[in-house]
Amino acid sequence: DTGVSQNPRHKITKRGQNVTFRCDPISEHNRLYWYRQTLGQGPEFLTYFQNEAQLEKSRLLSDRFSAERPKGSFSTLEIQRTEQGDSAMYLCASSLSGTLRNEQYFGPGTRLTVT
Amino acid sequence: GQQVMQIPQYQHVQEGEDFTTYCNSSTTLSNIQWYKQRPGGHPVFLIQLVKSGEVKKQKRLTFQFGEAKKNSSLHITATQTTDVGTYFCADQTGANNLFFGTGTRLTVIP
């Protein structure tokens, strides 16, 4: 499968714990995005990388959230001191710059439940 | 801040009926992309509209971009059960991230 992959697919954690999610984009894609989606809503942008550089972060993103893409390939999203309001589907997407279509390819997501 | 609203929020149609969802923005849209998300699935790209007044067709799907670039629509002719899902429009900002609309959930009754 050459699509975007995310691990784990599901994560249940207790409030106050830290969690880390991983995203492996399509191999030739240099852009990587993280989104959060809650039930009945559209995906909400969190942050964006071009290669290893984090170029944009949503102003809504709490400082408990941090993302990395150390070698410009896979990315990790860490949430520290989780809160119940962090429960959501976390989606990763990738794209290739310089193309006319500019479409983003989404992974299956990691569903986080904070108890 | 930017708001991208879609109407209706929900739509139930009989198989074979047409369906339209409308995307409206409080600000001028940059580029509009449309995505489909099946129940339990992830968003899948359908199309991108760039030019004012642009119309694109994909088989039974017709996409339009308003002349003022503040609205867009997706029309499905003769719906099928495979069309079930939530349709999102998304504004692609200058930074290349997507600002998604509220979505329209389509149910097709066989």
Give the residue-averaged pLDDT of A40-50: 93
pLDDT (0 to 100) of residue A98:
77
**Is pLDDT at A100 greater than 80 in this prediction?**
no
Chain CA centroid to CA A28, Å: 18
Instruction: With cut-offs at 50, 70 and 90, classify the pLDDT of residue B94.
Output: low
Question: A87: number of CA atoms within 13 Å, CB side?
Answer: 10
pLDDT (0 to 100) of residue A97:
85
Test A48 with B95 for CB contact under 8 angstroms: yes
Lowest mean pLDDT among A32-36, A59-63, A72-76: A59-63
Of A41, A97, A104, the CB nearest to B45: A104
- Name the average pLDDT for chain B: 94
**Is pLDDT at A104 greater than 60 in this prediction?**
yes
**Is pLDDT at A12 greater than 60 in this prediction?**
yes
pLDDT (0 to 100) of residue B97:
81
Dihedral angle computed from the Cα positions of residues A65, B5, B80 and A107, in that order, rounded to the nearest 10 degrees: -10
Query: From CA A61, how far away is CA A40, in angstroms rounded?
Result: 20
B26-71: pLDDT as tens digits: 889 988 999 999 999 999 999 999 999 999 999 999 999 999 999 9
**Is pLDDT at A1 greater than 70 in this prediction?**
no
> Could you say which residues from 66 to 95 on chain B have a Cβ atom under 8 Å away from some Cβ of chain A?
88, 90, 92, 95
pLDDT (0 to 100) of residue B12:
97
The closest alpha carbon to B98, from A76, A33, A22, A84, belongs to A33
Give the residue-averaged pLDDT of A20-40: 95
**Is pLDDT at A95 greater than 90 in this prediction?**
yes
pLDDT (0 to 100) of residue B93:
76
Test A42 with B97 for CB contact under 8 angstroms: no
What is the H or E stretch that residue A53 is in?
strand A53-57
